[in-house]
């Protein structure tokens, strides 16, 4: 972000955007779109709702991490690093996710590359190759990647995108049942109106 802007890129993408999405979903479902449909805003109103969005985004970040990052991506699915390094094979779930969203992320690296990475990590950690897990390899690789200027920039860009996507995904999980309930309620009301005429 620019020097004059009070938020970092991560705060804007991960917190403000997801908070605004949540406000928009609640506003649309329960007030008929009072905020979403508003065409004129004062500066004070704009700043106020941006701050509210930021706070809601911050509140959503912890459960977002727990639900999306850990429960969904590490318990229900194997981590992409586990598959890439050949520590765990893709199950049907990973095949489906790979086919739908992330084929490259859920593809194993070649055996030669896997062996080279695992051997280097095992040497650095002073453990046997068979004792490695994906998290241990990451802990070795991350500081090395951050030490390269180009890699550090790409990691920063990825972190912004990741925070945005994770938090938006979580808010979508919250918004979907609200929208489904609104759709159901609206159709029930329409059916009742049609029946009474």
Q: Report the C-alpha gap between 197 and 192 in whole angstroms.
A: 9
Instruction: Give me the pLDDT at residue 16, please.
Output: 92
Is the pLDDT confidence value at 22 over 80?
yes
> 104 or 166: which carries more pLDDT confidence?
166
pTM, entire model: 0.77
Q: Report the C-alpha gap between 24 and 33 in whole angstroms.
A: 8
Candidates 164, 158, 130, 124; CA nearest to 144 is 124
* Stretch 97-124: mean pLDDT: 88
Backbone φ and ψ of 134, nearest 5°: -60, -35
Instruction: Give me the pLDDT at residue 190, please.
Output: 58
> 3 or 14: which carries more pLDDT confidence?
14
Q: What percent of the chain has pLDDT over 70?
A: 92
- When pLDDT is cut at 50, 70 and 90, the band that residue 184 belongs to is confident
The domain segmentation of the chain, as residue ranges, is 9-196
Q: What percent of the chain has pLDDT over 90?
A: 36
First to last CA, the chain: 57
Is the pLDDT confidence value at 86 over 70?
yes
* Stretch 89-113: mean pLDDT: 87
- When pLDDT is cut at 50, 70 and 90, the band that residue 191 belongs to is low
């Amino acid at each position: 972000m620019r020097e004059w802007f009070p938020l970092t890129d991560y705060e804007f993408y991960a917190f403000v955007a997801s908070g605004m999405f949540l406000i928009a979903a609640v506003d649309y479902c329960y007030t008929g779109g009072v905020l979403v449909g508003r065409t004129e805003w004062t500066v004070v109103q704009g700043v106020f709702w941006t701050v509210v969005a930021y706070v809601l985004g911050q509140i959503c970040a912890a459960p977002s991490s727990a639900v999306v990052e850990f429960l969904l991506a590490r318990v229900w699915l194997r981590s992409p690093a586990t598959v890439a390094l050949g520590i765990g094979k893709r199950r049907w779930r990973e095949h489906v996710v790979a086919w739908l969203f992330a084929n490259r992320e859920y593809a194993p690296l070649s055996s030669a590359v896997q062996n080279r990475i695992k051997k280097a990590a095992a040497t650095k950690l002073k453990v046997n190759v068979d004792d490695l897990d994906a998290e241990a390899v990451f802990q070795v690789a991350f500081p090395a990647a951050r030490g390269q200027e180009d890699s550090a920039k790409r990691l920063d860009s990825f972190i912004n995108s990741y925070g945005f996507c994770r938090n938006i995904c979580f808010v979508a999980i919250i918004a979907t049942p609200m929208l489904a309930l609104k759709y159901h309620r609206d159709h029930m009301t329409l059916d009742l109106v049609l029946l009474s005429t």
